[in-house]
Amino acid sequence: MPKKILVLSGSPKRDGNTAMLVEWFAEGASSKKARVEVISVAFLKYKFPGCTSCRACQKTEEYGCVIEDDARPVLKKMIESDVIAMATPLYFFAASAQLKVIIDRMFSLYKWDNDAGTMETPLKGKTFALIASAYEDVGMDALERPFALTAEYTGMRFESLLVLNAGVSGDLRKKEGVREQAVAFGVKIASAEFTSP
């Protein structure tokens, strides 16, 4: 079975560094017969920016957000994918706000029983990949940490491609060796065997 890879691209620049990395990553993954779908989450339309903490999702059997907007089909695709990849520029030592908005809606993909102290999620066992770039070489560890923690908490395997000193939007196009790095990351993610945590 070909691997299904969903890429959520969180940059507002359609042809910037994040877009380049995602394109090269998809090229590598596709060469290993993975089915790659890229969604530019910066251009989705939401009723609210982020999770409203209404907790309606915790009162239903299904996994998914009750708010009917563009996040819903994306959350459904996350459940259906083998790999969830998230791509973002470093913005003030964190992920872009555009990506964070959809991340918080992932609350609806977990069911907590606080009395029993349990959590269940259909995301368990998937691979969670982070693709990020920054102008300089400071702060990428701060960006990576919440993604790594989310993967650990969820029971997902975590992988990352972090490109430091990437310059301003579009500079990566002419930076030597990065294309190869991103293609190789795509190959690796598409080839990796799943090991259920």
Ligand X SMILES: Cc1cc2nc3c(=O)[nH]c(=O)nc-3n(C[C@H](O)[C@H](O)[C@H](O)COP(=O)(O)O)c2cc1C
| Binding positions for ligand X, rule: CB under 6 A | 11, 13, 16-18, 89-93, 133-136, 139, 166, 168-169
Q: For the beta carbon of residue 82, count every other beta carbon within 10 angstroms.
A: 19
Shortest distance in whole angstroms from residue 92 CB to ligand X: 5
If the CB atoms of residues 81 and 169 are measured against ligand X, the closer one turns out to be: 169
> Minimum Å distance from CB 9 to ligand X?
8
Query: Which CB, 140 or 156, lies closer to ligand X?
Result: 140
Whose CB is nearest to ligand X?
Answer: 16
Least CB distance from residue 143 to ligand X, whole Å?
Answer: 9
- CB-wise, 11 or 108, nearer to ligand X? 11
Our CB check for ligand X shows the closer of 6 and 90 to be: 90
Query: Would you say 18 and 10 are in contact if contact means Cβ atoms under 8 Å apart?
Result: yes
Alpha helices (runs of H) in the chain, residue ranges in sequence order = 17-30, 71-80, 97-105, 140-154, 178-191
Using the 8-state DSSP alphabet, how is residue 139 labeled?
S
Take residue 16 and report the two structure tokens written for it: 């910037």
| CA distance between the termini of the chain | 21
Residue whose pair of structure tokens reads 């994306």 in the numeric block: 74
